[in-house]
Structure 1
Amino acid sequence: MNAAVATSVFGVFMVATVALGLLALRGRGGGGGGLAEWSVGGRSLGPVFIWVLMAGEGYTSFSYLGAAGWGYNYGAPVLYVVAYMSCGYAIGYVVGPMLWSYARRHGLVGITDMVAHRFGRPWLGAVVAVLATVFLLPYIQLQITGMGVVLSTISYGTVSLNWAYFLAFAVTTGFVVVSGLRGSAWVSVLKDVLVIATLGFLALYVPLHYFDGYGAFLDRLVTEKADWLTFPGHGGGGSGGSGLGELWFISTTFLNALTVVIFPTTVAGYLGARNADALRRNAMYLPAYNVLLFVPMLLGLAALFVVPGLAGAESNLALFKLVVDSLPAWAVGVIGVAAALSSIVPMAVFMLVIGTMWGRSVLSLLPRFAERQKTAAQVVVVVAGSLALLLTYTAPNTLVRLSLISYEGMAQLLPMVLLALVWRRLTFRGAFSGLVVGVAVVCALVFSGNDPVGGVNAGLVALAANLAVALAVTFAGGRDADPRPDAEVLAHDPTDEEEKKEKEVLLPADPGPSDHRV
């Protein structure tokens, strides 16, 4: 009976999610317009939609599962999530408008376009698209795994994990192929309402239900689980410890804060904005959303006393063990929907970005697809989702490990994407050589089990090598034969008046119904 109630609630909300995505296309030309409309919302999303979209991209299934799991297993080290996201939003206050301005001026729709335009080599965009896809696929796999685990858990085991994974893939793939970025933004509104409501409720309910309040809970935590409240967290000491000490925390926070601003999914949010001011306001308001992240972390610690003995990947279910144990089935279903939408929204954006990168930078090099970029991108979405689903079945891993690999790999694009746009002197040979070295180092360290390295995040070590090689090759060689005269975009962050003047000369690569506003 409980399973039927919870899964029915879940099913109703999933239907509502798809309907909301389709509703977002009203007045957009039926098929959703061209590639620019599908991939960046016609560059017309206002502050509210940009806020919920970027919050949705940052608040994923990890927040419900991995954050509680790390709180359960280690304790204090999980606070790196709050630290890097807050610092990343501060950096995004500067970087977001800069990337938006550059892309808008030249009709670009992603980081692969920017790299190809900056260095004047279309094939380089294709290389970056392939590389970014490799490091984004684990993140899609993470979301499929997260949503599958949630569905299987709230169904009280009635829905097997294998079927739950497939349903997660099917719902998200169909949704993003049809509705694109605008649909994701609309669904993010529903997701945020449910996330705020459910986590707010759980923050009050769990301590009162199990401990008679926060005072008794925290007293017991300090007395019995002191190791979880300091670095390097529980089980962190000794040669066989976690290695999640102060150096790891600082280096991971620093690396992820820099990387998140050039993450392809973050950039998709930037480029969907109506104007640069919307991004600045967004950067000021987004850190408030991070307060919610403390809830699953605390609930993971609470689960230490309620459901002790969870081991391995099972610890990711710490929060839902509390939910299923104490709440009625309908409430379990609603909380499961909030967690599922926290997988669907970021997964949709990840898949959309991969499709856009390939449609614009890889398949567009082939004459057959050059004039059908949106169709090519939608096909790639299905292929990428299918590959991630296959990886979920054949190469499962823990949620946090997957997200760290993605960030460490994507960090190696920082010099080529960001430094190249603010420093005109950086040459193609320097940027490309650094990228090759950085990717080689991070792969060698991660897959050999040497992460962290002496307590330092392996991605930061690889980025240091990347940057050193990029600078050395740049200074040792001459300037590029045809540097872009407009590459240094930090020197020009247009005001609203300048933006109005630019409209007269802008030639978007894929014109859409940009007169519509949301």
Structure 2
Amino acid sequence: MSDGAVATTIFAVFMAGAVALGLAAVRGRGKQGGLAEWSVGGRSLGAVFIWVLMAGEGYTSFSYLGAAGWGYNYGAPVLYVVAYMSCGYAVGYVVGPMLWAYARRHGLVSISDMVAHRYGRPWLGAGVALLVTVFLLPYIQLQITGMGVVVSTISYGAISLNWAYFIGFAVTTGFVVVSGLRGSAWVSVLKDVLVIGTLAFLVVYVPLHYFDGYGDFLDRVVREKSDWLTLPGSGGSRYGEAWFATTSLLNALTVVIFPTTVAGYLGARSADGLRRNAIWLPAYNVLLFVPMLLGMAALFVVPGLVGAESNLALFKLVVDSLPAWGVGVIGVAAALSSIVPMAVFMLVIGTMWGSSVLSLLPRWRGPRRQKLASQAVVVVAGALALVLTYAAPNTLVRLSLISYEGMAQLVPMLLIGLVWRKLTLAGAVSGLVVGVGIVCALVFSDHDPVFGVNAGIVALAVNLAVALGVSYAGPAGRRDERPDAEVLARDPLGAEGEDGADGADGEGERGVRAAAGP
């Protein structure tokens, strides 16, 4: 049997196992619950499942491809990923339980629900859902592309990129439509076992195989590639100290309100579980150092990679030095690192459309109808990203430039709006519009960074100033703007609301009514 056939067979077996595991997650639950059961796991996931789910959502195909590519091209700047994720987990220690308490009390299932409920405007929730969809679609496309590259590489070219793209879409859609967040959590267990095992092996194997151990490897880096060890990295990159600090700060704030992160928060059984999770999650960041180091190791083994080819730095080492079965196993770990976050991205888009957009139509109200609508949107969103991957890949790649910085502009509307009663609808919307406009103007005119500073944090500062200024100077908010976020303002480290008796029905029906306005 050829190397391609061996690796492809291993890949196929594991993909079938992933789908089966995702479907098994909801065995006996298929007829229970509506949108809340599907979208946030019935708010019943324990600390271990939340840990693997949120770790899985954070460790994507970028970690295997992009992190190694950044390590290969620039070196030290890629450490911003470790910095912002670790800081984000610290912020999440407080923010996660706060959002969980608010959503559980009012039966909400997404950030668009929260915004609609806080400001008493169903149209605002629908608008946020549309905006977030624009920001998330590029992530789906990037995961499809990443998985395609991995699968095509590990099959030694036996599986074309086009077929690999379709396989990624089909596998992910197959289990997420049926099993929702719970299925993603179960598949994350398989993914994490493989990721931890394969990276632990590679971090030992590669330096020993290609060098005389870490001493020789690091000595060569210091002597021959010292630019890769300091900011702004090699090649006169724009990613210096100011960019590193501002990007880490911006992303640490954004990751805690990122819709996929919030989906993990809302699926938790208790707020205390989220606090424990925030303590444990930074340990997972140790794994991020592996592709970064291996990307730098590839500088000596496969020099001369340019452009997108540098993203294959790690896999060129793997394919060059390991037997086909080993390539297949590592490829499966990388593929699952695309599938799990892609599933959560698709799930979040479906949930927001089902609960905030389509629920504006009378025929789609009610938890079971919303669940069906959300599942249909999952398929549509995934199919749209797949079609654009084939037909116009640069369209979503271009949008991806503003995705994270654009999502950051929701921080004042959501977080500040939930903890500060005086933030008005006019203030929140004005700030959001200005912030997103500045991000688009700066990024698309190639002015990111701005004087070395992340463009997103510049936009967020203006966004916040506008939101506060309009709230203070403009008319007071209407009475149906619900400034009832005191559940967040009270003792965020306490155990208030953990039993969720106040408004957390399994169907999320009260949340649907709340999000639809008074």
Aligned pairs for 1:424-439 (under 5 A) are: 424-439=421-436
Does the CA-based 8 Å contact 2:33-2:506 persist in structure 1? Answer: no
Q: Is residue 499 from structure 1 mapped to residue 498 from structure 2 by the alignment?
A: yes
Q: Identify the residue that residue 265 of structure 1 maps to in structure 2.
A: 260
Q: Deviation at 1:499?
A: 3.4
Q: Which residue of 1 aligns with 2:17?
A: 16
Quote how far apart the aligned CAs of 1:27 are. 2.2
SS at match of 1:464: helix
Change (3 A) 1:269 1:222: same
Kept in 2, the 8 Å contact 1:136–1:350? The answer is yes
The one-character-per-residue Cα deviations of 1:93-139 (angstroms, maximum 9, x if unpaired) are: 00000000000000000100000000000110000000000001111
- CA deviation map 1:53-112 (0-9, x unaligned): 000000000000000000000000000000000000000000000000000000000100
CA 1:316–1:401 in 2, change beyond 3 Å: closer, same or farther?
farther
Q: Distance in 2 between matches of 1:465 and 1:378?
A: 37
Paired residue for 2:344?
A: 349
Alignment of structure 1 residues 281-300 onto 2, 5 Å: 281-300=276-295
| C-alpha distance in 1 between matches for 2:33 and 2:67 | 38
TM-aligned CA deviation for residue 157 of structure 1: 1.1
> The residue matched to 1:235 in structure 2 has which SS?
helix
Q: Is 1:358 matched with 2:356?
A: no
Q: Tell me, what secondary structure is at the counterpart of 2:393?
A: coil
What TM-score does the superposition give when structure 2 sets the normalisation length? Answer: 0.95
8 Å Cα contact 1:66-1:400 kept in structure 2: no
User: SS in structure 2 opposite 1:368?
Assistant: helix
- List per-residue Cα deviations over 1:365-400 (Å, max 9, x = no partner): 012212310111011111111111122223436999
| Amino acid in structure 1 at the alignment position of 2:324 | A
Counterpart amino acid of residue 74 in structure 1: Y
Q: Which residue of 2 aligns with 1:217?
A: 217
Hey, what's the Cα distance between the residues in 2 that align with 1:353 and 1:329?
36
Deviates more, 1:390-399 or 1:370-379: 390-399
Distance 1:471 1:495, change over 3 A: closer
Q: Which of 402, 406, 410 is the matching residue for 1:405?
A: 402
Say whether residues 1:255 and 2:255 are aligned partners. Answer: no
CA distance in 1, matches of 2:57, 2:434: 29
Match of 2:34 in 1: 34
* Aligned AA (2:9): S
Distance of 1:5 and 1:399 partners within structure 2: 34
Q: RMSD across aligned C-alpha pairs, in angstroms?
A: 1.8
Is this contact kept in 1: 2:137–2:396, CA < 8 A? no
Q: Distance in 1 between matches of 2:484 and 2:298?
A: 54
Alpha-carbon distance between aligned partners in 2 of 1:422 and 1:265, rounded to the nearest angstrom: 21
Q: Which residue of 1 aligns with 2:515?
A: none
Superposition deviation, residue 204 in structure 1: 0.2
1:255-334 equivalence runs, <5 A? 255-334=250-329
1:68–1:397: structure 2 CA closer, same or farther, 3 Å change rule? farther
Q: Could you tell me how far 1:488 is from its partner in structure 2?
A: 3.2
Q: Match of 1:162?
A: 162
Distance 2:189 2:218 in 1: 33
Alpha-carbon distance between aligned partners in 2 of 1:367 and 1:470, rounded to the nearest angstrom: 33
Q: How many aligned positions are there?
A: 505
Which AA in structure 2 matches 1:499?
E
SS at match of 1:156: coil
Give distance in 2, aligned partners of 1:399 and 1:90.
31
Partner residue, 1:25: 26
Of 322-331 and 453-462, deviating more is 453-462
Runs of 5+ consecutive residues of structure 1 not aligned to the other structure: 237-241, 513-518
The 5 Å alignment of 1:76-225 reads 76-225=76-225
Residues in 2 aligned to 1:405 and 1:447: alpha-carbon distance in whole angstroms: 8
Range with bigger deviation, 138-147 or 85-94 = 138-147
Letter paired with 1:174: G
Instruction: Write the deviation string for residues 426-465 of structure 1: whole angstroms up to 9, x where unpaired.
Output: 0000000111111111111111111111111111111111
Name the aligned partner's letter for residue 108 of structure 2. L
**Aligned residue in 1 for 2:484:** 486
CA contact (8 A) 1:172 1:348 kept: yes
Q: Which residue of 2 aligns with 1:383?
A: 380
Paired amino acid for 2:178: V
Range that drifts further, 2-11 or 487-496 = 487-496
SS in 2 for 1:454: coil
- How far did 1:485 drift? 4.4
Q: Tell me, in whole angstroms, the C-alpha distance in 1 between the residues paired with 2:157 and 2:489.
A: 57
Letter aligned with residue 490 of structure 1: L
The 8 Å contact of residues 62 and 400 in structure 1, kept in 2 or not, is answered as no
Note closer, same or farther for the CA distance 1:485–1:396 as it changes in structure 2 (3 Å cut): closer
Tell me if structure 2 keeps the 8 A contact 1:25–1:32: no
- What amino acid is aligned across from residue 14 of structure 1 in structure 2? M
Name the structure 1 match of 2:516.
Answer: none
Q: For residues 459 and 261 of structure 1, do their structure 2 counterparts lie closer, same or farther at Cα, with a shift above 3 Å needed?
A: same
Q: Deviations over 1:35-70 (max 9, x none)?
A: 100000000000000000000000000000000000
User: In the alignment, which residue of structure 2 is the partner of 1:239?
Assistant: none
Distance in 2 between residues matched to 1:498 and 1:351, nearest whole Å: 29
- Is residue 61–residue 147 contact of structure 2 (8 Å, CA) maintained in 1? yes
- Say if 2:105 and 2:497, in contact at 8 Å, map to a contact too: no
Q: Following the alignment from structure 2 to structure 1, what is the Cα–Cα distance between the partners of residues 113 and 496?
A: 26
Gaps of 5+ in 2: 511-518
Structure 1 residues 335-344 or 458-467, which shifts more? 458-467
Q: Which of 158-167 and 128-137 deviates more?
A: 158-167
TM-score with structure 1 setting the length: 0.95
Looking at structure 2, the residues matched to 296 and 413 of structure 1 have their Cα atoms a distance apart, in angstroms, of 31
> Aligned letter for 1:169?
F
Alpha-carbon distance in structure 2 between the residues aligned to 1:402 and 1:303: 30
Aligned partner of residue 424 in structure 1, secondary structure: coil
